[in-house]
Structure 1
Amino acid sequence: MRNRFAFQPRYFLFWLVYFVVTKAAFLLYHAAKTAALPAGSVARIFGYGLRLDASATAYLSVVPFLVFAVGSALPARWFPRRLLSFYSAVLGVVVAFFTVADLELYRTWGFRLDATPLQYLNSPGEMAASAGSAPLLLLTGILAGLLGLGWWLYKKIVGPIPDLPPHFGRARAVLASVLYLALLVVPLRGGLQQIPINQSDVYFSALPFANHAALNVPWNVAQTLLLSDNGPNPYQFMPDSVATRTVQQLYAPASALPDTTRLLRTSRPNVLFIILESFTGKLVASTGGETNVTPNLDSLARTGVCFTNIYAAGDRSQKGLVALLSGYPSQPATSIIKYPRKTEHLPHLCRSLEQVGYKSHYYYGGELAFANMKSYLVAAGYDQFTERADFARSEQNSKWGAHDHVLFDRVLRDLQAQPTPFFVTAFTLSSHEPFEIPIPRKFKGTDETALFRNSVYYTDWALGRFLRSARQQPWWDNTLLVLVADHGHTLPGNDPNESYRKFRIPLVLAGGALRPEARGRVYGQIASQTDIAATLLRQLQLPTTGYVWSHDLLQPLRRPFAFYCFSDGFGMVSPTGVVTFDNVPRKVIKSDTLVTKEQLRQGQAFEQASFEDFLRK
Structure 2
Amino acid sequence: MRNRFAFQPRYFLFWLVFFVAAKATFLLYHASKVAGLPTGSLARIFAYGLRLDASATAYLSVLPFVLFAVGSALPARFFPQRLLRFYTAVLGVVVAFFTVADLELYRAWGFRLDATPLQYLNSPGEMAASAGSAPLLLLTGILAALLGLGWWLYNKIVGPVPALPAHFGRPRAVLASVLYLALLIVPLRGGVQQIPINQSDVYFSTVPFANHAALNVPWNVANSALLTDGGPNPYQFMPDSVAARTVRQLYAPASAQPDTTRLLRTTRPNVLFIILESFTGKLVASTGGEVGVTPNLDSLARTGVLFSNLYAAGDRSQKGLVALLSGYPSQPATSIIKYPRKTEQLPHLCRSLEQVGYKSHYYYGGELAFANMKSYLVAAGYDGFTERADFPTRQQNSKWGAHDHVLFDRVLRDLKTQPSPFFVTAFTLSSHEPFEIPIPRKFQGTDETALFRNSVYYTDWALGRFLRQARQQPWWDNTLLVLVADHGHTLPGNDPNESFRKFRIPLVLAGGALRPEARGLVIDRIGSQTDVATTLLNQLRLPSGSYTWSHDLLRPLRRPFAFYCFTDGFGMVTPAGTVTYDNVPHHIIAQDSTVLGNQQLHQGQAYEQVSFGEFLGK
TM-score normalised according to structure 1 size = 1.00
| Secondary structure of the corresponding residue to residue 477 of structure 1 | helix
User: Alpha-carbon deviation of 1:35?
Assistant: 1.4
The residue aligned with 2:53 is 53
User: Alpha-carbon deviation of 1:228?
Assistant: 1.1
Alpha-carbon distance between aligned partners in 2 of 1:337 and 1:136, rounded to the nearest angstrom: 30
Runs of 4+ in 1 over 4 A off after TM superposition: none
Alpha-carbon distance between aligned partners in 2 of 1:299 and 1:395, rounded to the nearest angstrom: 29
The residue aligned with 1:402 is 402
The residue aligned with 1:77 is 77
Alpha-carbon distance between aligned partners in 2 of 1:236 and 1:291, rounded to the nearest angstrom: 44
Give yes or no for contact 1:397–1:437 (8 Å, CA) kept in 2: no
The reply on whether 1:17 has 2:17 as its aligned counterpart is yes
The residue aligned with 2:191 is 191
Alpha-carbon distance between aligned partners in 2 of 1:277 and 1:35, rounded to the nearest angstrom: 32
- The superposition leaves residues 383-423 of structure 1 with CA deviations (integer Å, 9 ceiling, x where unpaired) of 00000111122223341110100000000000000001000
The residue aligned with 1:478 is 478
- The superposition leaves residues 350-405 of structure 1 with CA deviations (integer Å, 9 ceiling, x where unpaired) of 00101111000000000000000000000000000000111122223341110100
User: Alpha-carbon deviation of 1:28?
Assistant: 0.3
Give yes or no for contact 2:366–2:429 (8 Å, CA) kept in 1: yes
Matches within 5 A, 1:57-206: 57-206=57-206
The reply on whether 1:447 has 2:447 as its aligned counterpart is yes
Give yes or no for contact 1:277–1:317 (8 Å, CA) kept in 2: yes
Alpha-carbon distance between aligned partners in 2 of 1:281 and 1:296, rounded to the nearest angstrom: 14
| Secondary structure of the corresponding residue to residue 132 of structure 2 | coil
Matches within 5 A, 1:456-605: 456-595=456-595, 596-605=597-606
Give yes or no for contact 2:398–2:430 (8 Å, CA) kept in 1: no
Give yes or no for contact 2:309–2:504 (8 Å, CA) kept in 1: yes
User: Alpha-carbon deviation of 1:167?
Assistant: 1.3
| Residue type at the aligned position of 1:89 | A
| Residue type at the aligned position of 1:410 | R
User: Alpha-carbon deviation of 1:169?
Assistant: 1.0
| Residue type at the aligned position of 1:610 | S
| Residue type at the aligned position of 1:402 | A
Alpha-carbon distance between aligned partners in 2 of 1:506 and 1:610, rounded to the nearest angstrom: 24
| Residue type at the aligned position of 1:170 | R
| Residue type at the aligned position of 1:227 | L
| Secondary structure of the corresponding residue to residue 362 of structure 1 | strand
- The superposition leaves residues 103-133 of structure 1 with CA deviations (integer Å, 9 ceiling, x where unpaired) of 0000110100000011000000000100111
The reply on whether 1:30 has 2:30 as its aligned counterpart is yes
| Secondary structure of the corresponding residue to residue 43 of structure 2 | helix
Query: Unaligned regions of 5+ residues in structure 1, if any?
Result: none
Matches within 5 A, 1:177-576: 177-576=177-576
| Secondary structure of the corresponding residue to residue 131 of structure 1 | helix
| Secondary structure of the corresponding residue to residue 44 of structure 1 | helix
Q: Alignment identity in percent?
A: 86
| Secondary structure of the corresponding residue to residue 522 of structure 1 | strand
| Residue type at the aligned position of 1:341 | R
Query: Unaligned regions of 5+ residues in structure 2, if any?
Result: none
| Secondary structure of the corresponding residue to residue 268 of structure 1 | coil
Alpha-carbon distance between aligned partners in 2 of 1:137 and 1:258, rounded to the nearest angstrom: 59
Alpha-carbon distance between aligned partners in 1 of 2:66 and 2:563, rounded to the nearest angstrom: 48
Give yes or no for contact 1:23–1:213 (8 Å, CA) kept in 2: yes
Give yes or no for contact 2:277–2:317 (8 Å, CA) kept in 1: yes
Alpha-carbon distance between aligned partners in 1 of 2:13 and 2:458, rounded to the nearest angstrom: 53
| Residue type at the aligned position of 1:564 | Y
- The superposition leaves residues 264-305 of structure 1 with CA deviations (integer Å, 9 ceiling, x where unpaired) of 111110000000000000000110101111010000001000
Alpha-carbon distance between aligned partners in 2 of 1:160 and 1:237, rounded to the nearest angstrom: 52
Alpha-carbon distance between aligned partners in 2 of 1:163 and 1:566, rounded to the nearest angstrom: 53
| Residue type at the aligned position of 1:213 | A
| Residue type at the aligned position of 1:477 | D
Alpha-carbon distance between aligned partners in 2 of 1:395 and 1:433, rounded to the nearest angstrom: 19
- The superposition leaves residues 420-472 of structure 1 with CA deviations (integer Å, 9 ceiling, x where unpaired) of 10000000000001111111111111111011001101100100010011011
Give yes or no for contact 1:397–1:436 (8 Å, CA) kept in 2: no
